[in-house]
Chains A and B, each alone.
Chain A
Amino acid sequence: MNTPDKEWWIAQAGEYVLGTLDYADWVTFNKTIEHDREAQQLVVEWERTLQPLADSLAPMEPGDQVWDAIDTRLFGTTRPSSSVTQIGAHRATTQSLERKIDRWRGYAGLATAASLLLASLAWVNHLGVRDQVVPEPAISVAQFDAISIVRDAESSPLWVVDAALNDGFVRVTAIAPPAIDNSKSYELWIVKPDNAGVQSMGLIPHEIDQSYLLKVSAVNESPVAFAVSLEPAGGSTQDVPSGPVLYQGVYQSLKL
């Protein structure tokens, strides 16, 4: 730990722990503590110094689904309700959702325009899909009344889901799904409200810009979320995901 002076290092380590360093400074300091034991020690001291502040917060109960999700990710445990996918989706605050819906409505406009373009795409003859992939003209874009953007843990969009569940249609467009080999498939699920379980929507595209229009069993009650699991090729052989549930997206109604 060389120049600048000791106070600078104390403040820098403190700000690293607080999280107030600018990104570039944070990256630099993060690199520093990898090999500088004195700097690392300062960070540890700050973490210890400020820990009572964290201890002073009243404990809060996370949803049961958090443990379920951890259990699934680390140990491959699956549960019939697949509540793992519901992480907080239905618990987001109304205010937050209202703001998001405004943004989503804006996005929906783009999605509709994109849908018009997508209508010219050849429909995908997707073998082995439980639910039927149908030609685009089977549904007008005007009938889609809900949208969901399925995201990864970094919040990057992976798929856009247009839904008309009352009519039994779902269109899934791959934006940037992680690559998988032929022995795997991505499967889309709806997560029903009130822990009522999940329902498969079928296999979804895994190549960028590919779009599937799926005919599914009509769903009368709005789900809380869509979720995507990684399955053996052809999809889960059960009524619930057999592989890990990796991604999710909040179901957003576009009905006024």
Chain B
Amino acid sequence: MTEQLTTADELGKLLERCVRQDQVAFKALYDCTSRRLYATLFNILRIEAVAEEALQETYVKVWNKASEYKSELGQPITWMTSIARYQALDMLRKRRIREDRETEWEAIPSLDTMMTQPDPSQMAEYQDILEQCFGRLSESQRQCILRAFLEGLTHDELSESTKSPVGTVKSWIRRGLVSLKECINEHA
């Protein structure tokens, strides 16, 4: 079973088997999803050793919390990605590894570039909507939201990156989020 061929239903079934303490299913779930979660973690943590540690913690939580997963929480990969991201953000807070990150303030890739990866979760149509809605935001709003989500940057780091006051950055993010939400609701 490869990542590309794994549907949300299949992942859901694997999670159900994890609830029944099925270790084979857990390994299959890991094989199906670890590369994607690791990419998310590495993008935020920037150090392989730390990202791998976070990946380990993520899957321990997935195993221990599999019974808490419900379809109302989104697709399985969304639930797992959230566990991974919160793990990474928590590690950033607690470990203060920001100083160790090899953050380079390079320009954010264009949305077109970022969105060209295959989407195994069958959300292509929704992805179009999201891309369209991101396109409506100002460049500053878009950059701040994308970098916060993908790289785990704080207000302060975004302020430094954009050479703008922290208050301005906060405003960009909050207004951008509200605009994004309105736009997505329009298409819903």
Please say whether chains A and B are actual partners in one complex: yes
Residue ranges of A at the interface with B (Cβ–Cβ < 8 Å):
7, 10-11, 14-15, 17-20, 22-23, 44, 46-63, 65-67, 69-70, 73-75, 87-89, 91-93, 95-96, 99-100, 153-155, 250
* Whole-angstrom distance between the Cβ of A227 and the nearest chain B Cβ: 13
Residue of A nearest to B34 (CB): A62
Q: What residues of B have a CB within 8 angstroms of the CB of A49 in the complex?
A: 130, 180-181, 184
Q: Judging by beta carbons under 8 Å apart, are B173 and A18 in contact? A: yes
Per a CB cutoff under 8 Å, which of A23, A46, A52, A100 touches B126? A52
* Whole-angstrom distance between the Cβ of A91 and the nearest chain B Cβ: 5
Provide the bound-state CA to CA distance between A60 and B152, in Å: 18
Q: Dominant SS at the A interface? A: helix
Q: What residues of B have a CB within 8 angstroms of the CB of A53 in the complex?
A: 114, 130, 146, 149-150
B59-74 interface mask toward A, CB cutoff 8 Å, 1 = contact, 0 = none?
1100100000000111
Q: How large is the interface on B (under 10, 10 to 19, 20 to 34, 35 or more residues)?
A: 35 or more
Number of A-B contacts (CB under 8 A): 184
Q: A73-B56, A96-B100, A99-B100 are in contact. Are A91 and B123 (CB under 8 A)?
A: no
Q: What residues of B have a CB within 8 angstroms of the CB of A67 in the complex?
A: 27, 30, 34
What are 9 A-B pairs with beta-carbon distances under 8 A? A15-B177, A18-B148, A20-B173, A44-B74, A46-B177, A51-B121, A61-B38, A100-B100, A250-B49
Q: Judging by beta carbons under 8 Å apart, are B123 and A88 in contact? A: no
Per a CB cutoff under 8 Å, which of A19, A46, A56, A59 touches B152? A19
* Whole-angstrom distance between the Cβ of A53 and the nearest chain B Cβ: 5
Q: Judging by beta carbons under 8 Å apart, are B102 and A96 in contact? A: yes
Provide the bound-state CA to CA distance between A74 and B27, in Å: 12
Q: Dominant SS at the B interface? A: helix
Q: What residues of A have a CB within 8 angstroms of the CB of B137 in the complex?
A: none
Q: What residues of A have a CB within 8 angstroms of the CB of B100 in the complex?
A: 96, 99-100
* Whole-angstrom distance between the Cβ of B137 and the nearest chain A Cβ: 13
Residue ranges of B at the interface with A (Cβ–Cβ < 8 Å):
3, 23, 26-27, 30, 34-36, 38-40, 42-43, 47-53, 55-57, 59-60, 63, 72-75, 77-79, 81-82, 85-86, 89, 92-95, 97, 100, 102, 114-117, 119-121, 123, 126-127, 130, 145-146, 148-150, 152-155, 158, 170, 173-175, 177-178, 180-181, 184
* Whole-angstrom distance between the Cβ of A24 and the nearest chain B Cβ: 12
Q: Judging by beta carbons under 8 Å apart, are A87 and B53 in contact? A: yes
Q: What residues of B have a CB within 8 angstroms of the CB of A17 in the complex?
A: 82, 85, 149
Provide the bound-state CA to CA distance between A49 and B183, in Å: 11
Q: Judging by beta carbons under 8 Å apart, are A95 and B102 in contact? A: yes
Per a CB cutoff under 8 Å, which of A7, A19, A66 touches B85? A19
Per a CB cutoff under 8 Å, which of A22, A46, A88 touches B49? A88
Provide the bound-state CA to CA distance between A255 and B48, in Å: 25
Q: Judging by beta carbons under 8 Å apart, are B181 and A14 in contact? A: yes
Most buried by A among B3, B60, B78, B102: B78
Q: Judging by beta carbons under 8 Å apart, are B48 and A88 in contact? A: yes
Per a CB cutoff under 8 Å, which of B35, B53, B119, B158 touches A61? B35
Per a CB cutoff under 8 Å, which of B38, B47, B85, B130 touches A92? B47
Q: Judging by beta carbons under 8 Å apart, are A91 and B49 in contact? A: yes
* Whole-angstrom distance between the Cβ of B183 and the nearest chain A Cβ: 10
Q: What residues of B have a CB within 8 angstroms of the CB of A23 in the complex?
A: 93
Residue of A nearest to B74 (CB): A48
Provide the bound-state CA to CA distance between A179 and B123, in Å: 48
Given A14-B177, A56-B119, A66-B38, 7 further pairs, Cβ under 8 A: A18-B148, A19-B148, A20-B154, A20-B173, A70-B60, A88-B49, A92-B48
* Whole-angstrom distance between the Cβ of B120 and the nearest chain A Cβ: 7
Per a CB cutoff under 8 Å, which of A20, A62, A93, A100 touches B35? A62
Q: What residues of B have a CB within 8 angstroms of the CB of A48 in the complex?
A: 74-75, 78
Residue of A nearest to B174 (CB): A11
Q: What residues of B have a CB within 8 angstroms of the CB of A19 in the complex?
A: 85-86, 89, 92, 148-149, 152, 154
